[in-house]
Amino acid sequence: MRIKKQGIIIVLLGILTVNCIDELEEAQSNYLNYNTKINLELPFNGEWLIAHGGRNLSENHHASVREQRFAIDAFQKINGSSYLGDGKDNEDYYCFGKPLFAPGNGIVILVENTVIDNTPGELNPNQLAGNYVVINHQNDEYSFIAHFKQGSIIVNVGDQVVKGQKLGETGNSGNSTEPHLHYHMQTTKNLHNGEGLPAQFLNYYANDVLIERGEPIKNQIVKKK
Task: Please report, as ranges, the residues that interact with Zn ion according to CB under 5 A.
Answer: 11, 13, 73, 182
Q: Which is nearer to Zn ion, 107 or 123 (CB)?
A: 123
Cβ atoms within 10 Å, residue 140: 13
Q: How far is the CB of 78 from Zn ion (least distance, A)?
A: 21
Q: How far is the CB of 212 from Zn ion (least distance, A)?
A: 25
Closest-by-Cβ residue to Zn ion is: 182
Cβ atoms within 10 Å, residue 170: 27
Q: How far is the CB of 65 from Zn ion (least distance, A)?
A: 9
Q: How far is the CB of 141 from Zn ion (least distance, A)?
A: 18
DSSP 8-class letter at 215: -
The residues pairing with 64 across neighbouring beta strands, listed in sequence order, are none
Q: Which is nearer to Zn ion, 104 or 174 (CB)?
A: 174
Q: Which is nearer to Zn ion, 13 or 155 (CB)?
A: 13
Burial of 99 per CB tally in 10 Å (0-12, 13-18, 19+): middle
Q: Which is nearer to Zn ion, 73 or 117 (CB)?
A: 73
Cβ atoms within 10 Å, residue 175: 25
Report how far residue 117's alpha carbon sits from residue 100's, in angstroms, rounded to the nearest whole number. 16
Q: Which is nearer to Zn ion, 12 or 155 (CB)?
A: 12
Q: Which is nearer to Zn ion, 73 or 141 (CB)?
A: 73
In contact, 62 and 184? CB cutoff 8 Å: yes
Q: How far is the CB of 1 from Zn ion (least distance, A)?
A: 7
In contact, 79 and 108? CB cutoff 8 Å: no
Q: How far is the CB of 197 from Zn ion (least distance, A)?
A: 15
Distances from the Cα of 96 to the Cα of 6, 121, 154, 201, angstroms: 25, 14, 16, 23
